[in-house]
Chains A and B, each alone.
Chain A
Amino acid sequence: MEQYRINKDAGLEFGIYSLGDHLANPNNGKRISASQRLHEIITFAQLADQAGLDFFSVGESHQPYFTTQAHAVVLGAIAQATRNIKIGSSSTIISTSDPVRVYENFATLDLISQGRTEIIAGRASRVGLFDLLGYNLNDYEALFEEKFELLLKINKQKIINWEGQFRPPLQNAEVLPRPLNHTLPIWRAVGGHSASAIKAGRQGVPMFLAHLGGPVTTFKQTIDAYREAASESGHDPEQLPVATAGFFYAAETSQQALKDLYPHINEGMKKTNGQGFPKQHFAQGIERHNVMNIGSPQQIIEKILYQHEMFNHQRYIAQIDFGGMPFDQLQRNIDIIGSEILPAIRKYTRKNDN
């Protein structure tokens, strides 16, 4: 775990992620400017840092209603604005990027942030970026697998000799700069499908599992499949961190949390995904059996501890800012996390106290 900068004894890590969506607040129909949204994301990261959270990440989506396409640039500003919090991408679409450039960017970020930077590499759920960046969608899977392997190789070796299908060969190439502590934690983003988790397991790389909603045990099966595949391929699952990522919202009561969050999720998903979130399913988000972390602080603590019991994961990251959520509500959530949720989670998942 140490090579991924995870201290198991410290308990479950808690982080925040933003997809960098740029949507109107459904309650008043108003959308802040792209500039304001970017500044709010940076301030959001600062607040998370000050509240003692472990991780903050930003993703890239190349389509309307998003504003962090150049997510590494945004992370540069965050690296400079924060002190202790680990930072990363959620996710970097490695399929449509040059792994050499990605590594250069993130190694640089690691130096600026004094060793706090990580990469989460994914395949993209929407595919408009293939046209935009000049890639063939038919190569969706092959592009990811080849480029992800190259990224891992660059992380391991200072001098690279490599040949592949989608990039000119590298001969005795030196990819610089190198990260502060020699390597970066590189995770594979998994969208909930066991097949993808099994691939991550076979590769022996940490897994970042995204979940919009659904039964906790379903995601446990995916995590079990990941660890089993890792073990079968000769990797030690004990050394491979697992992170989960999903919707989060805390308010005084669970009913208030549902009320505050629902319009943002429902309207935001209509715009970015083409379908709203059924109320019936959303209402189940406060149940212990559902993986979404929505409710009162105490309910959320119990939910996260239940998830930890089932998943034995090392990090949970929360998405709070989707769908034009006003900044003061983000601020309030960070306060609640820092003052109530995080201390409880750490207390119950830290090694000494168990």
Chain B
Amino acid sequence: MNIVALSGSNVGTKTKIAIDYAVDKLKETEENQQMVTLDLSAYDIQFSDGRNYLDYKGDTAYVAKTIMEADVIIIGTPIFQASIPASLKNIFDLLPTDGLRDKIVSMIVTAGSQRHYLVAEMQLKPILNYMKAHVVENYVFIEEKDYHMKEIINDDVFLRIDRLLEDTFTLSEVYQDVQKKKDAAYGF
């Protein structure tokens, strides 16, 4: 199974810190899986112009292909101006309209204020559903006050991320089992 942890901002550190924790945790619990972290601040990615994702070059092609090859995607996103950052939206724009078909996607959201709690619900989930992902319904919402000096200081955040990962892989297993049965039933 291919797992991709996507840190969706090209600035700041909080989302990256939360994603790094999730990846470390996954390395303990999902030892035998292929795991890739995509930190968008580390790549030079062009804006989408609507071409087939295979036709991009350089970092843009690498990031798009890596996501397309994933079975499970853990998206980390900050909230800017009551929305997801442009860098993350651009990633979705690079992919085919049903580019997340058969993929399990879960979300870790970092924000400066509680007022942003519903942004992922109202803005990120509809995109993921439109692109045909199987979305893990609950997400982890982390606030400014949960961090101090580039570290997570709220124990509850660790526990919630752990549970999110568990839910993500439970859902993944369920879908894989069901899919296997369905595919066999088609008989081709």
Contact = CB atoms under 8 A, between A and B. Distances in A.
Interface of A: 125-128, 137, 255, 258-259, 262, 273-275, 278-280, 282-283
A80 to B, nearest CB: 35
B101 A278 contact: yes
Nearest to A261: B188
A283 B186 CA distance: 7
Given A127-B52, A128-B55, A255-B188, 6 more contacts: A126-B55, A127-B51, A258-B188, A259-B187, A275-B101, A279-B188
B151 to A, nearest CB: 39
Nearest to B56: A127
Nearest to B53: A274
Contacts of B188: 255, 258-259, 262, 279, 282-283
B155 interface: no
Which 3 A-B pairs rank lowest in CB-CB distance, beginning with the nearest? A259-B188, A258-B188, A274-B54
Interface in B149-188: 182-183, 186-188
Contact of A137 (B49, B68, B101, B183): B49
A125 B49 contact: no
Contact of B96 (A258, A275, A278, A282): A275
B78 interface: no
Interface residues of B, number: 17
Interface in B75-121: 96, 98-99, 101-102
A274 B52 contact: yes
A183 B54 CA distance: 38
A239 to B, nearest CB: 34
> Interface centre among B68, B183, B188, by most A CB within 10 Å?
B188
B52 A279 contact: no
A40 to B, nearest CB: 25
Nearest to B65: A274
A255 B102 CA distance: 24
Contact of B68 (A128, A262, A275, A282): A275
A273 B187 contact: no
Interface of B is mostly: loop
A275 B51 CA distance: 14
A260 to B, nearest CB: 8
Contact of B55 (A127, A262, A279): A127
> Interface centre among B54, B96, B182, by most A CB within 10 Å?
B54
A1 B183 CA distance: 46
A1 B34 CA distance: 59
B26 to A, nearest CB: 26
Contacts of B68: 274-275
Contacts of B54: 126, 273-274
Given A275-B99, A278-B101, A125 B52 contact: yes
Interface in B39-73: 49, 51-55, 68
A278 B102 CA distance: 9
B96 A274 contact: yes
B51 to A, nearest CB: 5
Nearest to A138: B49
B175 to A, nearest CB: 13
Contacts of B55: 126-128
A267 to B, nearest CB: 13
Contacts of A126: 51-52, 54-55
A282 B101 CA distance: 14
Nearest to A125: B52
A137 B186 contact: no
Nearest to A260: B188
A142 B131 CA distance: 30
Contacts of A137: 49, 51
Contacts of A280: 182
Contacts of A262: 188
